[in-house]
């Protein structure tokens, strides 16, 4: 299926979110069901309309497609598990564009905070080509290496890294769904304790309970619904298995071919993008994305992002929901949710609304140097 046969042929017509933070009264599957209900209500569809269901498994072995499908009482044409939010969006788009499904729901729910799921392990990366003896038993260590390398290669400073946490904290302070809503100053950032130097605790995602869901259909069907939603006008992807063996391992190398696919197959230009969402399990990820997707030159993002440039009201607002270190750790699902919210002009706190938002880019990843996906959403009506 050619990419051009997908782009411009799929809309997001329903979004749903649960509370974020700690939800001990619910299981992960409960949360997924609640998110689906919210997306269905938002779309104006009936449950019987849904003929495609994609569910991402969550930590703690929850999110089994058979269990979620049974609990929702669905008998879809296609029901499948996915490994990540980017994969869910791409597969949903292809199912709709091919005509195999009319309305595809994608769903994620987790109670990883309540369960106290741990992310460190003896062999963290897929290839298992190094382990804890080298100090890389937790994904946070790879992010610390990333920024330490940037400091060595380009003279980046810890204060420059703090611009990301400060900007995202300002967005979170205006986001009623955000778990941590205190806005930070750069001095307050510098006073935070290290977890893995040079990264401080506010550079790390904060593990959360919560759920999100979206519903996809064709633009033609979307016109008859209450909220026709934005259209997918750009998609890129790249798997990556070399990990540390890649010569640019510290700078998210899979984003480069991903970016080429994205920009080569859309009429959107960088200057058209009104806001950018980056899956920022760790704040240095934002600098890598700014460079790899072409918003600034390689090796300059730590300088380019200063002076409020990535804040609300700046040249390119980034993660205006607060990011994963302030809003919620939802492995990318929160990015599409908030992008659609912004494109509908529905930010609950009006100060958080990106003015005249028409085109938004979202990028998500499975790990520091592993697979990546990207999407561009645009209001076409």
Structural domain contains residue 123: no
Amino acid 128: pLDDT: 52
Structural domain contains residue 311: yes
Write out pLDDT tens, residues 285-339: 999 999 999 999 999 999 999 999 999 999 999 999 999 999 999 999 999 999 9
User: Residue 139's pLDDT band (boundaries 50, 70, 90)?
Assistant: confident
Main-chain dihedrals φ then ψ at residue 17, nearest 5 degrees: -140, 150
- Are 54 and 153 contained in the same domain? no
- Are 271 and 325 contained in the same domain? yes
Report DSSP letters for 63-75, one per residue.
Answer: --HHHHHHHHT--
pTM over 0.75, yes/no: yes
Structural domain contains residue 133: no
Last residue of a domain, one of 222, 250, 285: 222
The span from the CA of 15 to the CA of 106, in Å, is 10
Which residue range is the domain that position 61 belongs to? 3-117+208-222
Write out pLDDT tens, residues 200-235: 999 999 899 999 999 999 999 999 999 999 999 999
Percent helix / strand / coil, the chain, rounded to 5? 35, 20, 45
- Are 161 and 97 contained in the same domain? no
- Are 89 and 217 contained in the same domain? yes
- Are 246 and 374 contained in the same domain? yes
Last residue of a domain, one of 171, 187, 222: 222
- Are 287 and 374 contained in the same domain? yes
- Are 9 and 34 contained in the same domain? yes
Structural domain contains residue 50: yes
* Nearest CA among 365, 278, 351, 375 for reference residue 319: 278
Cβ-contact 65, 53 below 8 angstroms: yes
Integer angstrom CA distances of residue 61 from 14, 57, 58, 65, 225: 26, 7, 6, 11, 35
Structural domain contains residue 131: no
* Nearest CA among 122, 55, 118 for reference residue 85: 55
CATH number for the domain spanning 249: value is 3.40.47.10
With a CB cutoff of 8 Å and minimum separation 6, the contacts of 134 are none
Q: Which residue has the higher pLDDT, 176 or 131?
A: 176
In the DSSP assignment, the letter for residue 204 is B
- Are 71 and 104 contained in the same domain? yes
Structural domain contains residue 21: yes
Last residue of a domain, one of 157, 190, 222: 222
pLDDT at 119 over 70: no
Amino acid 117: pLDDT: 74
Write out pLDDT tens, residues 238-254: 998 887 778 888 899 99
Structural domain contains residue 126: no
With a CB cutoff of 8 Å and minimum separation 6, the contacts of 355 are none
Peptide bond into 286 cis (omega under 30): no
User: Residue 28's pLDDT band (boundaries 50, 70, 90)?
Assistant: very high
- Are 256 and 343 contained in the same domain? yes
Structural domain contains residue 134: no
107-116, 228-237, 314-323, 351-360: least confident range: 107-116
- Are 197 and 215 contained in the same domain? no
With a CB cutoff of 8 Å and minimum separation 6, the contacts of 344 are 227, 229, 230
* Nearest CA among 84, 78, 86, 68 for reference residue 104: 78
Cβ-contact 192, 186 below 8 angstroms: no
- Are 215 and 255 contained in the same domain? no
No. of helices (H) and no. of strands (E), the chain: 12, 11
Report DSSP letters for 291-334, one per residue.
Answer: HHTTSS-TT-HHHHTTTTTTSTTSSS-B-TT-HHHHT-B-TTHH
- Are 42 and 164 contained in the same domain? no
What is the number of structural domains in the chain? Answer: 2
The span from the CA of 96 to the CA of 157, in Å, is 46
């Amino acid at each position: 299926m050619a990419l051009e046969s997908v782009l411009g042929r799929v809309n997001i017509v329903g979004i749903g979110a649960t509370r974020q933070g700690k939800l001990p009264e619910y299981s992960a599957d409960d949360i997924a069901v609640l998110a689906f209900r919210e997306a269905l209500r938002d779309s104006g569809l009936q449950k019987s309309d849904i003929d495609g269901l994609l569910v991402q498994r969550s930590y703690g072995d929850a999110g089994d497609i058979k269990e979620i499908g049974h609990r929702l009482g669905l008998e879809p044409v296609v029901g499948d598990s996915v490994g990540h939010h980017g994969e869910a969006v791409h597969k949903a788009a292809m199912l709709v564009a091919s005509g195999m499904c009319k309305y595809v729901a994608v769903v994620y729910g987790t109670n990883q905070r309540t369960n106290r799921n741990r992310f460190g392990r003896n062999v963290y990366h897929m290839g298992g080509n190094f382990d804890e003896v080298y100090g890389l038993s937790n994904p946070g260590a790879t992010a610390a290496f990333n920024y330490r390398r940037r400091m060595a290669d380009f003279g980046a400073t810890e204060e420059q890294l703090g611009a990301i946490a400060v900007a995202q904290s300002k967005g979170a302070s205006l986001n009623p769904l955000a778990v941590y809503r205190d806005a930070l100053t750069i001095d307050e950032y510098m006073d935070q304790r290290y977890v893995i130097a040079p990264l401080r605790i506010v550079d790390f995602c904060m593990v959360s309970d919560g759920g999100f869901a979206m519903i996809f259909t064709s633009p033609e069907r979307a016109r008859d619904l209450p909220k026709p939603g934005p259209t997918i006008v750009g998609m890129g992807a790249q798997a990556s298995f070399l990990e540390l063996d890649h010569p640019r391992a510290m700078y998210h190398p899979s984003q480069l071919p991903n970016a080429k696919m994205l920009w080569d197959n859309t009429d959107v230009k960088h200057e058209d993008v009104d806001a950018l969402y980056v899956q920022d399990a760790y704040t240095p990820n934002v600098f890598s994305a700014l460079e790899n997707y072409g918003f600034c030159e390689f090796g300059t993002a730590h300088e380019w992002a200063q002076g409020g440039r990535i804040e609300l009201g700046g040249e390119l607002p980034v993660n205006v929901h607060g990011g994963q270190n302030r809003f919620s750790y939802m492995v990318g699902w929160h990015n599409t949710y908030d992008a659609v919210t912004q494109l509908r002009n529905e930010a609950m706190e009006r100060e958080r609304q990106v003015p005249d938002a028409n085109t938004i880019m979202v990028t998500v990843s499975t790990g520091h140097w592993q697979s990546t996906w990207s999407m561009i959403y645009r209001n076409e009506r």
